[in-house]
Structure 1
Amino acid sequence: MIAGELYLPGDSELVADRKRAQSLMRAYNDTIMGDAARGDLLAALFGSCAADAAVRAPVYVDYGYNIHIEHGVFLNYGCVLLDVCAIRIGAGTQVGPAVQILTADHPRDPETRASGREFGRAISIGRNCWIGGAAILLPGVTVGDDAVIGAGAVVTRDVAPGTTVAGNPARPLVSSAPNA
């Protein structure tokens, strides 16, 4: 699964891993800012999470252990991180409310899809990015450092460093502002 190969999501080990994540999510989502348990819960839920990262509850994950959050990251309310493969969020990145970061994918071939097998592709988000509310990042995309994803954008392709994208599908915006 983590390598992007086809897998069966009903595998007993994966079911147990999702139950573990659901228990930790429930506990975390029942906390409020300032609760002493928050840091410990995030450390248990995520593969890695910098101590100064801010994750507003509720947050939703598949497994949690494939999520890696660096220094100074901010995730606003209601983010969905489907982490069948790695999700890496670089230092200083800000993620708006209701953003979906989706590594989970399904075969395009109808026979393979009917078999119940799935796969995923990792997502990497660089440093100092800004992802607007309700944006959706699809499997396999890489967002470069200092990029901006407009609110509601559907990111289907890689975003180059320093680029602003918006729309469905997300496309680079051309700025008319002079360079400072």
Structure 2
Amino acid sequence: MTELEKMVAGHPYHINDPELVEIRYQTRDKTAQFNQLAARDAEQKTQLIKQIFGEVGDNVHVEQGLRVDYGFNTKIGNNVFINYNFVVLDCTDFIIGSNVFIAPNVQVYTAIHPLDPLQRSQHVGQAKAIHIQDDVWIGGGCIIMPGVTIGKGSTIGAGSVVTRDIAPNSVAVGNPCKVQRTLDTAPQGQSVAHNMLTLP
């Protein structure tokens, strides 16, 4: 297997493999172009987002301040809004479902480094996939750690560090992020007034 194949499959790999370095350079060149565009250049920004990420659905809006490791491992559904300063270390699959809101300063890490200092000094890495399912709201300043799935319809409070899976329709907050309660649900298009809340 190549180092690229190892990385995507979640096996240990050499981070500074020339092929991987070149992919990172190309992705960072494109994100730099994206971040320098004028706010009104919506069409150009959309085209660059489609070049940066592996799959991009309809009605996807990404604000500037974007930072991405590889890009091709990230797949985004429909009707997604990503606010300022989104950081993505997508060494393996990072999946965003449809109807997802991501607030400013959210960081997503699929990347893992060894606990052994000797291995770290040899620039060995590994990665675990992250999945944000449909209808999720990620609050500002959240960090999502390797291997996590955030279930459909969940809300993650601002400043949370998500280290474990979050069940669907949950309100979860904290460091480490923990479920505070399960949301009541209503038929599509109806509001549930008592589910409106301000998270820390």
Shorter chain as normaliser: what TM range? over 0.9
Deviation larger for 90-99 or 24-33? 24-33
Higher helix share: 2
Q: Figure out how many residues of one structure are paired with residues of the other and give that number.
A: 180
For residue 128 of structure 1, give the secondary structure of its aligned residue in structure 2.
Answer: coil
Question: After superposition, what is the alpha-carbon deviation per residue over 1:131-172, rounded to whole angstroms, capped at 9, x for unaligned?
Answer: 000000000000110011100000000000001110100011
Larger radius of gyration: 2
**8 Å contact 2:170–2:181 — kept in the other structure?**
no
Using the size of structure 1 for normalisation, the TM-score is 0.94
Partner residue, 1:78: 85
Partner residue, 2:38: 32
**8 Å contact 1:39–1:51 — kept in the other structure?**
no
Runs of 4+ with >2 A deviation: 108-115, 177-180
Partner residue, 1:145: 152
Structure 2 residues not aligned, in runs of 5+: 1-6, 185-192, 196-200
Report the CA distance between 1:108 and its aligned residue. 2.3
CA distance in 1, matches of 2:34, 2:170: 34
Report the CA distance between 1:179 and its aligned residue. 7.5
CA distance in 1, matches of 2:158, 2:149: 17
1:16 paired to 2:34: no
Partner residue, 1:167: 174
1:135 paired to 2:142: yes
Deviation larger for 143-152 or 49-58? 49-58
Report the CA distance between 1:31 and its aligned residue. 1.6
Using the size of structure 2 for normalisation, the TM-score is 0.85
Report the CA distance between 1:116 and its aligned residue. 1.7
Deviation larger for 87-96 or 44-53? 44-53
For residue 174 of structure 1, give the secondary structure of its aligned residue in structure 2.
Answer: strand
